[in-house]
Amino acid sequence: MTAFYDQTVPFLINGIAGMQKFLKKAEAHIDEKKFDKGVVLATRIFPDMLNLTKQIQLVSDFGKGASARLQGIAVPSFPDEEKTFDELQARLAKTIDLLKAVDAKLVDPAREVVIKVGGKDTPMSALAYFNGYVLPNFYFHMTTAYNILRGMGVPLGKADFMGRG
């Protein structure tokens, strides 16, 4: 294993696994309160923000994108078709499977990664990509999903967000 691998992939796996746990807790709360799950999944913090479903899909997207780009392989495509908690859980599980399959020997912080930024191809090192693009976006969307659920009264705390709940 490389030190760079140890500082990247396990953190994404832990974050997504934590998200799976707090989504289970959220679904139990929603069932108890008899909320409409479709309404919950469509909830957003503010009208111009993305809804809960899209926040979860984006957490998955940043995880699967990192799993591929850090190895220098093509990013797999997942269609954004999830409409239920079970489908979102399955997507997160699929993303964890991709991350667990990462070949640590291929994860090189100096590897050039090219991503689209503002519609333009932008090259950067894998280190810059992970620290400056993946982590901020991954945690932004994870935090937003968490905050949508907290705003609906789901009893989540910091330990849930950290994957220890």
pTM score = 0.96
Residue of 140, 147, 149, 163 whose CA lies nearest to 13: 163
18 near 108, Cβ under 8 Å? no
User: Which pLDDT belongs to residue 142?
Assistant: 97
| DSSP 8-state code for residue 129 | H
Domain range spanning residue 70?
A: 3-161
**pLDDT per residue as tens digits for the range 151-165:** 999 999 999 888 887
> Residue 161 half-sphere exposure, CB side, CA atoms within 13 Å?
18
- pLDDT per position as a tens digit, 1-33: 569 999 999 999 999 999 999 999 999 999 999
| pLDDT reported for residue 76 | 96
Q: How far apart are CA 23 and CA 56, in angstroms?
A: 10
39-65 pLDDT, tens digit per residue, is: 999 999 999 999 999 999 999 999 999
CB 18 within 8 A of CB 165: yes
- In the predicted model, what is the mean pLDDT of the chain? 95
Q: What pLDDT score was predicted for residue 165?
A: 76
Quick one: which H or E segment has residue 53? helix 52-69
Query: What total of structural domains would you count in the chain?
Result: 1
Of 140, 129, 42, 57, whose CA–CA distance to 94 is shortest? 57
Query: CATH number of the domain that 72 lies in?
Result: 1.20.120.450
> Which two three-digit tokens encode residue 27?
């679904």
